[in-house]
Structure 1
């Protein structure tokens, strides 16, 4: 089988900056202090009313292609990971394929919520390894959750934000692959704990749904605080075991960014310093399936990782879905 390498990265965020003070005004209470002290979110970016998530995908994709030096005829596969698509149907990937002019490019969307980017990255690497018609694959994680927020629900409206991150993977001759190990797993018993439960076949949007504000993202039940740290540390240990390396050899961790304390809890379990994980929620809020590729792009731009460094990407998302990928950058 052929090997796989990371060719380039890219990211995009909306121009509109929403500071914590905005929520003090609309909620009529001081939420800024709580956000700063407990989740370390200071501001985030939101799409404008006339923007869809495809605009962010397009910008992140173009940046990744420019950095890779690829033309629009040299990408054979495009996978977009999102649970906030441009349309319910058709796929957001088809929109981006057309707007970028990606000739002869297969496309599809993946929805494992906030685990989606790592799920899509794992999927793309398997295409590249096993099928010679695919030489370059672009994976985009994108998020436009501001469109699904109830402005009066302080449990959601203060956390979620918008963005997109792109990674291009390329196939190379059989040998040492940069994809060292990957896994995906799901704990479906949590499917009804958090999500957007209207707008599809179970409950299409209706006047009654809108009147009750049921078209928005909801936290239905509180997740156990230990769930993510335990699952993430277990995934990290399993992937390192498969690859034959120590967890301590991982140069940097790229995690789902919904809770900085969960990231630190995972690192504590692994007995690693907190600076092993880059965090981006401070200025960008929680960007769901875009958070991990955005963090990876920032680490590349800031020279926090170098070629050959082992890196671990671990995502978790509503469902609950979990995905991990151990790679060499």
Structure 2
């Protein structure tokens, strides 16, 4: 049976390192202690003034292509997941396709906020399984939220960061590896809790928007703290049933890296040891649609994932959107 398998992965983070004491200075209070004790973020990467989302995506793609021995002309489809696009229009993927010379690739962007990478992987799988014209699909999660931060908003400025992760999927016949199951969930009642609420058709950019900074990232309401652990654990149980793989036989669980306590709570609900997950917010900060591929790369480098292992990716983001996928590596 035709299936999608993971061929190669790659990442990129900007060179600029921002440590916690930077925020102590600009906010004129000690936020380092809280960040390090409760969130376990010690530093993060931010784009330089001249870097943008497409630059991050291109670098991550080149990394994945080099590791997998993939040529530009091999790519049949490029999907970019981002909610910090290069432009409102055209798509970020159009520019990236041109810059990488992916001359045979169709392209489109996906925006399900921080659930975008897993949503895009799921979409790529569907193309490969349904259409023999798609044999090599590139998925990139790219995030440059530093460009949308209010430097005086302590609820956001010290958490969010920049980076990109790429996964190249290929078609395979009866390999035994690859895609196992997936699921998408949306809780639309939370659409107005967190986001960038100006710059679109509802609130076009004008002087008032700029003055009120509503064109920047805003956390408007507080999410129930139990929300992510409840839905993440439920998705993991659903993926287990759909894939026929017991939770105890899953080698690695990867979650959105927004809150380390939500990850620990989820693993406790699932009765799984903390060692079976990977966290990367400590040195990358929170990188939205890039955080799961960044954590995946860390897990591979740390030998937490080997060929033949089953792993789950479960992402969540503003909207609220949730996406889960199970793979045999």
Give 1:191's aligned residue. Answer: 191
Q: Please list every run of 5 or more consecutive structure 1 residues that lacks an aligned counterpart in the other structure.
A: none
Aligned residue runs from structure 1 range 135-174, under 5 A: 135-174=135-174
Give 2:286's aligned residue. Answer: 286
> How many residues end up aligned between the 2 structures?
329
2:214 aligned with 1:223, yes or no? no
| Contact 2:76 2:134 (8 Å CA) reproduced | yes
Q: Please give the per-residue CA displacement for 1:6-32, whole angstroms capped at 9, x wherever unaligned.
A: 000000011110000000000000000
Backbone CA RMSD of aligned residues: 0.9
2:306 aligned with 1:317, yes or no? no
2:96 aligned with 1:96, yes or no? yes
Q: Please give the per-residue CA displacement for 1:157-216, whole angstroms capped at 9, x wherever unaligned.
A: 010000000000000114635111001010100000100000111111111111111111
Deviation at 1:251, TM superposition (A): 0.5
Q: TM-score, normalised by structure 1?
A: 0.98
Give 2:301's aligned residue. Answer: 301
Q: Please list every run of 5 or more consecutive structure 2 residues that lacks an aligned counterpart in the other structure.
A: none
Give 2:79's aligned residue. Answer: 79
Give 2:275's aligned residue. Answer: 275
Aligned residue runs from structure 1 range 182-261, under 5 A: 182-261=182-261
Separation in 1, partners of 2:168, 2:314: 18
Q: Please give the per-residue CA displacement for 1:41-94, whole angstroms capped at 9, x wherever unaligned.
A: 000000112211111100100010111111111010100000001111111111
Separation in 2, partners of 1:301, 1:5: 19
Deviation at 1:302, TM superposition (A): 2.6
Separation in 1, partners of 2:262, 2:198: 29
Separation in 1, partners of 2:112, 2:204: 21
3-state SS, counterpart of residue 80 of structure 1: strand
**Pair 220,277 (structure 1): closer, same or farther in 2 beyond 3 Å:** same
Separation in 1, partners of 2:274, 2:303: 18
Aligned residue runs from structure 1 range 52-131, under 5 A: 52-131=52-131
Q: TM-score, normalised by structure 2?
A: 0.98
Separation in 1, partners of 2:277, 2:304: 10
Separation in 2, partners of 1:36, 1:72: 41
Separation in 2, partners of 1:301, 1:56: 20
Separation in 1, partners of 2:117, 2:238: 20
Separation in 2, partners of 1:176, 1:276: 22
Deviation at 1:232, TM superposition (A): 0.3
2:263 aligned with 1:263, yes or no? yes
Separation in 2, partners of 1:52, 1:175: 38
